[in-house]
Structure 1
Amino acid sequence: MKIKVQMSMVLNLDKCIGCHTCSIPCKNVWTTREGAEYMWFNNVETKPGIGYPREWENQSKHKGGWVMDGGQLRLTAGGRLQKVARVFHNPDLPVIDDYYEPWDYDYASLITAPHKNHQPSIRPKSQLTGEPMQIKWGPNWDDDLAGVCETGARDVNFSGLDHAIYLSFKQVFMFYLPRLCEHCLNPACVASCPSGAMYKRDEDGIVLVDQERCRGWRYCVSGCPYKKVYFNWRTHRSEKCIFCYPRLEAGLTTLCAHSCVGRIRYVGVVLYDADRIHEAASATPDKDVYPAHLDLFLDPSDPETIAAAANQRIPEHVMAAARRSPIYTLAKTWQLALPLHPEFRTLPMVWYIPPLSPVEALAGNEDIRTAVDNLRIPVKYLANLLTAGNEEPVRLALKRLAAVRAYMRSVRVEKKPDDTIAASVGLDTATLLKMYDLLAIAKLEDRFVVPTATHLDKNPLHTIKGCAGFPDYR
């Protein structure tokens, strides 16, 4: 057993209001230089929708992530030979129009315009070519279902559903999906990089780009199934979310989590068994990847784990943070948080609590065990998004979220606490109250448990250059 520490995040989609407040500090701090105008390390998408960049989830188009081929785990886009053959043209790479061509305005012309009978106006001008352009797409182009009647049919999460029914006026549903780099345990971007510039920090699992080694091949961009690696058109280097590691090393949380007005984000460390990454990523069928991924997580309170961690020189303050971390509790103990598209086999470490609302069906006397199937958001859609189509983990999470609401309603509204509700979802009342405390009214120190930086040995810059199932290019 090889214990590793991973910085992780859980986002409660049941509380996200789509305000984009998380995106602004990230943009202002990390992507203010020329060439990074179109980069959104953190963005908020509306579901249903095709997201940013366009159709990032469609791997038949973009060839990101990993697949099982003849019992072997390989990159969807192919290995070294395929990359050499496409060195001058990568058809799997998103083009700038899939993001948006960054533009600006000649504001000086408003000031210097001569007197006219009509208000002067200015046209958008491309920052790439300097020529006037027509704006056709952007990071929030389909925000709040705008244009979903045109693009919704291309949402891959409608697989197994009739999208026409759920996009009709009276049946349509909506929720928000904040996205950032997943800092995966088996990152396809790292395995796709020919120059070894992409690496995963050994001390906390954060995936970074060495700007000195990057040669602008852009295979990391096409290799990432979440499309969270960007190409800087000015420096010709790849850039991505760094999980605010300078803040984390000081014991502070990420900017997106700190600024979230809905308090939907939870940040902390988890322990996992690195020796079993290949086994988990190779699980078949796709539905088995999530439970295999979950089995990688180690209980920080288990005596065997504590002893092994001590032998492997994991600092005690990191172990203490892992025991207090909300990530293990939400993902493993309560099984409320689920990974985004586990079928990509990258083993992502930013997980999501599925949205329960609207909850009209739960306001009456309907059985808590059947209410989740009558909600406006189809369980099948959420399963396609979070569990590779397996509805049972999603249904369990929704039932437990509904149980918290139903129990608190019995306490606060009906003034008759119903202790049978917890038993119906395999929990006890004390656990429901803990869920309520963490999900509804948790303080900052309960939501963000971040240990300060520590060096594991004399060389603090250990990196994991290769990935499970794919040899290092070097």
Structure 2
Amino acid sequence: MRVMAQLAMVMNLDKCIGCHTCSVTCKQTWTNRGGVEYAWFNNVETKPGQGYPRRYEDQGRWRGGWTLRHGRLVPAAGGRVRRLLSLFANPGMPHLDDYYQPWTYDYRTLTDAPLGDDTPVARPVSAVTGAPAEVTWGPNWEDSLGGAPEHAAADPVVQRLGREVRFEYEQAFMFYLPRICEHCLNPSCVASCPSGAMYKRSEDGIVLVDQDRCRGWRMCVSGCPYKKVYFNHKTGKAEKCTFCYPRLEVGQPTVCAETCVGRLRYIGVLLYDADRVGEAASTKDEQRLYQAQLGVFLDPHDPAVVREAQRAGIPHDWITAARRSPVHELICRHRVALPLHPEYRTMPMVWYVPPLSPVVDALAGTGFDGEDSGNLFGAIDTLRIPLDYLAGLFTAGDPEPVRMALRRLAAMRSHMRAVNLGEPPDPAGPARVGMDAGSVEAMYRLLAVAKYEDRYVIPTAAVGDAHDLEGIATTCAVGGDGGAADGSTDLFVWRDGERPAGLFPTLRREAP
């Protein structure tokens, strides 16, 4: 057992109202400059929809993430030889139009136009080239199903459901899906980087880009199956979500979480066994990848885990934070949070609580009590589209974990309605989903009424080392066969070849 710690995020999709406040604040903080006009480290998609960039989930085209070849993990884009041959002409990389052509307006026409009988018009111009542009797509083009049914049918997950449900889908289900970099345990973007500029920090698991080492090959863009790495065409460097690490290092949540109107984001520490990551990601059956990743996470209340964590140099504050982690509660204890597209085999660390509200609304529309647990359980099992679609998003098509998560959310709603109305709760409801009244109420306190300090449990042991953390030399250089660049299987490569005893080593990067 090799215990490591990672900061992770859970988003409760039941509470997202699609206001895009998280996207705007992230944009203003991280990408409000030239070269990344089109880049949104945080974006909110409407599902069903093609997403951003368009059809990023179609790995048959983009070939992102990992695949199994003779039982070994290899980048889906190919090995070292294939990547070398496509270094200067990469067909698996999205074009600007796949994202969208960022535009502004020719406001000078309005301010400088001479007097006349005609009303001047500020026409759109490209924010990249300055030439007149035709607005045909945008990052929120499908917002609130605004583009359906014309565009929703092109959603890769919808296409896998079959033609008989494709055109009815928009009337049956809709929800918002906020997305950031997944900061994966097994990041394929890091494995794809020829220069070793992409790395995963050992102290908190955040995946970053060393701007000094980056040579602009853009292999990381094609290697990421979530398409959350962007190319700055002015600096010639790759950029991505940093998980707001300067804020986290002083105990503050990410900007997107801090400004979230719906209070749907949770940040906490997860302890995991680094020696089991490769084995879990190599699980042959895609529909078992969710359970395999759950098996990687460790119980911070287990004395044996605590001893190994202390031996690995994880500070006491991080172990304490892992015990109070809302992320651990939602993922490992209550089992209501699920990973996004585990079939990419990157072991994502941003998980989602699937939405239940549309199920309740659909049931209430038939004249039945939409909050009764018996009715809700039946609705979850009989509604044709949502369960299959959610399974396609979160469990590689396996409906059982999604069904159980939704049933637990339904049991919580039914139980808490009885409590709030002063009625005796039915103990059979929680018992049918393997819970009791205490665990249901604990889940309710976390999902519905959690305070700030309960939603963001971020260790502050690094406050005094915040400056030194920027120089951590934990470059993650994963090789094309799933191992490190030196042929080992250790994900973290250290400058001196030895794994340091402390979690916050004062090492500096070697010159590129």
TM range (shorter): over 0.9
Contact 1:23 1:42 in 2 (8 A): yes
Partner of 1:17: 17
CA 1:365–1:407 in 2, change beyond 3 Å: closer, same or farther? closer
Change (3 A) 1:25 1:453: farther
Q: Which amino acid aligns with 2:396?
A: A
Partner of 2:498: none
When normalised by structure 2's length, the TM-score is 0.89
What's the CA shift string for 1:379-428, capped at 9, x where partnerless?
A: 01100100000111000000000000011122223623222211111100
Shift of 1:319: 0.6
Residues in 2 aligned to 1:161 and 1:303: alpha-carbon distance in whole angstroms: 45
Partner of 1:336: 336
Note the alpha carbon deviations across 1:441-462, whole angstroms, 9 max, x for none: 1000000000125369x98614
Q: Residue 152 of structure 2 corresponds to which residue in structure 1?
A: 152
Task: Give the Å deviation of 1:108.
Answer: 2.1
1:306-455 equivalence runs, <5 A:
306-358=306-358, 359-360=360-361, 361=363, 362-363=370-371, 366-375=374-383, 378-413=386-421, 415-454=423-462
Contact 1:173 1:376 in 2 (8 A): no
Note the C-alpha offset of 1:373: 2.1
Q: Which residue of 1 aligns with 2:56?
A: 56
How far did residue 84 of structure 1 move? 1.3
C-alpha distance in structure 2 between counterparts of 1:226 and 1:309, whole Å: 31
CA distance in 2, matches of 1:175, 1:144: 8
Q: Which amino acid aligns with 2:356?
A: L
> 2:477 is matched with which residue?
466
- Aligned residue runs from structure 1 range 183-222, under 5 A: 183-222=183-222
Provide Cα deviations, 1:213-245, integer angstroms capped at 9, x if missing partner. 100000000000000000001111100000000
How many Å separate the matches in 2 of 1:79 and 1:161? 32
Select between 140-149 and 347-356 the one with higher mean Cα deviation: 140-149
Kindly provide the amino acid, as one letter, of the partner of residue 272 in structure 1. Y
Q: What is residue 30 of structure 1 aligned with on the other side?
A: 30
Report if aligned partners of 2:153, 2:159 keep a CA contact under 8 Å in 1: no
1:282 aligns with 2:294: no
Cα deviation for residue 296 of structure 1 reads 0.5
Identity %: 55
Partner of 1:120: 120
Give per-residue Cα distances to partners, 1:291-317, cap 9 Å, x unaligned: 111111011110000111111111101
2:84 is the counterpart of 1:72: no
Over 3 Å counting, the alpha-carbon distance change for 1:248 and 1:117 in structure 2 is same
- The answer to which of 98-107 and 371-380 deviates more is 371-380
State the secondary structure of the residue aligned to 1:150. coil
Given the superposition, is the C-alpha separation of residues 471 and 306 from structure 1 closer, same or farther in structure 2, using an over 3 Å criterion? Answer: closer
Over 3 Å counting, the alpha-carbon distance change for 1:376 and 1:82 in structure 2 is same
Moved more, 158-167 or 260-269: 158-167
Partner of 1:238: 238
C-alpha displacement of 1:119:
1.7
CA distance in 1, matches of 2:420, 2:384: 25
The 1:164–1:130 alpha-carbon spacing in structure 2 relative to 1, beyond 3 Å, is: farther
Would the aligned equivalents of 1:356 and 1:375 in 2 still touch at CA under 8 Å? no
Query: Residues of 2 paired with 1:160 and 1:114: CA distance?
Result: 56
Given that residues 47 and 176 in structure 1 are in contact (C-alpha distance below 8 angstroms), is that contact kept between their aligned partners in structure 2?
yes
Spell out the pairing of 1:238-317 with structure 2 (5 A cutoff).
238-317=238-317
- The CA distance in 1 between the partners of 2:130 and 2:258, in whole Å, is 37
Instruction: Write the letter of the residue equivalent to 1:465.
Output: C
How much does 1:125 deviate? 1.5
SS of aligned partner of 1:51: coil
The answer for the alignment partner of 2:178 in structure 1 is: 178
Please tell me the residue identity of whatever aligns with 2:482: F
Q: Which amino acid letter does the alignment assign opposite residue 327 of structure 2? A: I
SS in 1 for 2:74: strand
Shift of 1:169: 7.8
Residues 311-357 of structure 1: per-residue CA shift (max 9 Å, x gap): 11111011111100111110011100000000000000000000011
Instruction: Output one character per residue of 1:254-303: Cα deviation in whole Å (capped at 9) or x when no partner.
Output: 01011111111000110100011110110011011111111110111100
- The answer (yes or no) to whether the contact 1:11–1:352 under 8 Å persists in 2 is yes
Paired with 1:376 and 1:144, the residues of 2 have a C-alpha distance of 21
Distance 1:237 1:371 in 2: 49
User: What is the one-letter code of the residue matched to 1:442?
Assistant: A
* Matched-pair contact (CA < 8 Å) for 1:286–1:388: yes
Corresponding residue SS for 1:378: helix
SS at match of 2:119: coil
**Which amino acid counterpart does residue 395 of structure 2 have in structure 1?**
T
**What one-letter code is carried by the residue in structure 1 that aligns with 2:12?**
N
Structure 1: give runs of 5+ residues left out of the alignment. Answer: none
Cα offsets for 1:159-198 (capped at 9, x unmatched) = 5523553533884310000000000000000000000000
- Per the alignment, residue 82 of structure 2 pairs with 82
CA contact (8 A) 1:152 1:163 kept: no
TM-score relative to the length of structure 1? 0.96
Judge conservation of contact 2:196–2:475 (CA < 8 Å) in 1.
no
Aligned length: 473
Distance 2:270 2:304 in 1: 16
- Alpha-carbon spacing, 1:170–1:228, altered in 2? closer, same or farther (3 Å): closer
CA distance in 2, matches of 1:246, 1:130: 34
Q: Distance in 2 between matches of 1:130 and 1:254?
A: 33
| Residue aligned with 1:392, SS | helix
Helix, strand or coil at the partner of 2:149: helix
Query: Can you give the 5+ residue segments of structure 2 that lack an aligned partner in the other structure?
Result: 364-369, 487-512
| Matches of 1:431 and 1:364, distance apart in 2 | 19
- 1:170/1:388 Cα in 2 relative to 1: closer, same or farther (>3 Å)? closer
Amino acid at match of 1:466: A
Offset of 1:24 from its aligned partner?
A: 1.2
